Structure 1
Amino acid sequence: MQTFGYNPKWLHIHHDEKVFMMINIDQTTSLHLNNEVQFFCFELEPEGQIYATNVFKVREIIQYSESLSQTEGSNNGVMMGFMSVRGETIPLLDLRRWIFAAYDSPWSELREFSTPGEKIIVAVCDFSDFVVGVRIYGAKKIISRKWDEVTQATEQGIAHGKVTATVRYEDGRIVQIVDIERMLVDVFPHLESQKEDELKNIKSIKADKMVLLAEDSPSAMKMMQKILDQLGVVHHDFGNGKLLLDYLFSSPSVIEEVGVVITDLEMPEVSGFEVIKRMKADALAREIPIIVNSSMSGDSNKNMATKLNADGFVSKSNPREIEQALREYLS
């Protein structure tokens, strides 16, 4: 296994013995104070479409040359097998297979859509308390953008909802931001089944006030709506932080009717960090409890949300954690 660079504080990517990309992950938390984000950009084929994911979800980039532990059956799906990284066994997924899979029958023979090249370049991603290897063709670079430069995609739009948003690369090309969380659920449906089972055990909450929810991922939004419906609370849902803030600040009477705000962190136009900052700066809205609902559960994000005076932090769409938080802050 050739390491393109790893250190707990740094994401290094080396190319042809040169440092191709380097960023101090701890320092990027300051970007959120300015409603900014950094994306790790990569390709799935030579000179192809540029894709990206939030840099916080990428732990390291490696070239993997060791053998894979195969799954049952032939290696024809999105999951290629299991890989060993620093003594840790993690699943390896071929992102190109998932992106280009037929929408009506996504888990049929997918080897024709495999990422090309003899070298297996892997982005080791860590999010939602899950570590997974994602095969890519090659790394591009890390770009910094304001969240208002990020355009939200529709579920019926690019790649059948497998892309949450788009942004411009340095040369003007469109960068598609992949919904990594949805890929995880598609490949491992038991993760969603576990949440469905937990849904049955949460009980309704009596509340006089409503919940506002901001979430840009369609799959995560659907699960959150199921949770809130099961809890029996009135809720209004928004695809990003800007839409939520526009509704919240439309009149003082709306602010008085809101009991809790639940927000994702990474969203186009206005991030969850910006939602927290603006609400806590307002004399009326600052009293509304804010619960951060994010797959980026690293300490740096929790610490930043705490510094901005968020009231709670739960794992992405976790029914029990959300019930506990709402029972505490809403009732």
Structure 2
Amino acid sequence: MSEIMNSVNQRTQLVGQNRLELLLFRLNGRQKFGINVFKVREVLQCPKLTSIPRLNSFVRGVAHIRGQTISVIDMSLATGGKAIVNLDTAFVVIAEYNSSVQGFLVGAVERIINTNWEAIMPPPKGSGRASYLTAVTEFENELIEILDVEKILNEISPISTDVSESVSNMSVENKREKIIFIADDSAVARNQVKKALSTLGLEIEMAKNGLEALNRLKALAEETGDITDKVGILVSDIEMPEMDGYTLTAEIKNDPALKNLHVVLHTSLSGVFNQAMIQKVGADDFIAKFHPDELVTSVQKWFDNI
């Protein structure tokens, strides 16, 4: 296990290069799950948990780790399974999402695998746990399920999508024919962004991954020859199956019909965000998830300048 921890510490310093490194874990059964290594701070054997009244039923308790008090979420309970019983052999994955740190209680931690985004696919329709999956992949003839952590966290502690009154009074004048395009593999995240940006009064179109977004943007561009005649801005997640946000941005900036599109990368990779990678692919802006006022203000200001 010390090798896994050391590997996590080293690899969380890397971002991009169109590859995905997954930390594999199990809950109660044999099924393997994955979490992006770049969101993992630490993996440790389950420490002593302290119960606190009125905690969400999925939160097994809080742990005091390196000067922080961290809620520990039972990932099996949170995805509709049975509670992880033997805490003495369980592990806690400390991860950062949306500028906050959480602990995920898992039954066992196995290894880190290196794959690429092209091998990450949307979850199959009709699978029992599909509502909690954001993607799947295959490794050594085994199906790896990638959980929609943003959905899980939102069910436990919903993120406010409300925009403050001063910001909600903003609107985009004389550009109402423009579309705001959103790309994100998490349905929860897509709807959060849509609700916030709806205050600008513009049409919004959404895609579930980078490849779907790219194909749709190309189709829109074919109508006039320049995507900016139709779309004012793209707000894209970075981690998406089939094509990640880095690759999507690079494809856009290398396409004459798309290159003028303003691209904002909007990601929960706040703790390990690599500014050099954003510059390399040519993204125009970066906003950490999820701050409704900041997102709406940034988009509104861009529309005012075009």
* TM-score, length basis structure 1: 0.82
- 8 A contact 1:97–1:115 mirrored in 2: no
- 8 A contact 1:45–1:116 mirrored in 2: no
In structure 1, what residue type is equivalent to 2:31? Answer: Q
* Cα deviation, residue 24, structure 1: 2.6
Q: Distance in 2 between matches of 1:144 and 1:177?
A: 14
- 8 A contact 2:94–2:103 mirrored in 1: yes
Matched, 1:28 2:14: yes
Matched, 1:319 2:299: no
Alignment correspondent of 1:41? 24
Alignment correspondent of 2:51? 70
Choose which of 98, 101, 116 in structure 1 pairs with 2:78.
Answer: 98
In structure 2, what residue type is equivalent to 1:131? Answer: V
Alignment correspondent of 1:276? 249
In the alignment of these two chains, the number of paired residues is 297
- 8 A contact 1:96–1:115 mirrored in 2: no
- 8 A contact 1:78–1:97 mirrored in 2: yes
Q: Distance in 1 between matches of 2:151 and 2:166?
A: 22
Alignment correspondent of 1:13? 4
Q: Distance in 2 between matches of 1:156 and 1:197?
A: 35
1:195 counterpart SS class: coil
2:277 counterpart SS class: helix
Choose which of 128, 137, 143 in structure 1 pairs with 2:107.
Answer: 137
* Cα deviation, residue 155, structure 1: 7.9
* Cα deviation, residue 182, structure 1: 1.3
Q: Distance in 2 between matches of 1:165 and 1:27?
A: 23
Choose which of 293, 297, 300 in structure 1 pairs with 2:270.
Answer: 297
Alignment correspondent of 1:204? 171
* Cα deviation, residue 157, structure 1: 4.2
Matched, 1:238 2:207: yes
* Cα deviation, residue 239, structure 1: 0.5
Could you list the per-position Cα deviations for residues 116-175 of structure 1 after superposition, in whole angstroms to 9, with x for gaps in the alignment? 4523410000121010011111111111222121111268644151111100122x1111
User: Residues 101-112 of structure 1: matches in 2 within 5 Å?
Assistant: 112=82
Q: Distance in 2 between matches of 1:243 and 1:201?
A: 31
1:24 counterpart SS class: helix
In structure 2, what residue type is equivalent to 1:223? Answer: Q
Choose which of 184, 198, 204 in structure 1 pairs with 2:153.
Answer: 184
- 8 A contact 2:34–2:144 mirrored in 1: yes
Choose which of 143, 146, 159 in structure 1 pairs with 2:116.
Answer: 146
Alignment correspondent of 2:137? 167
CA RMSD of aligned residues (A): 2.4
State percent identity of aligned pairs: 25
2:195 counterpart SS class: helix
Q: Distance in 2 between matches of 1:223 and 1:71?
A: 29
* TM-score, length basis structure 2: 0.88
- 8 A contact 1:155–1:162 mirrored in 2: no
1:285 counterpart SS class: coil
2:282 counterpart SS class: coil
Matched, 1:88 2:68: yes
* Cα deviation, residue 221, structure 1: 1.1
- 8 A contact 1:167–1:175 mirrored in 2: yes
- 8 A contact 1:120–1:135 mirrored in 2: yes
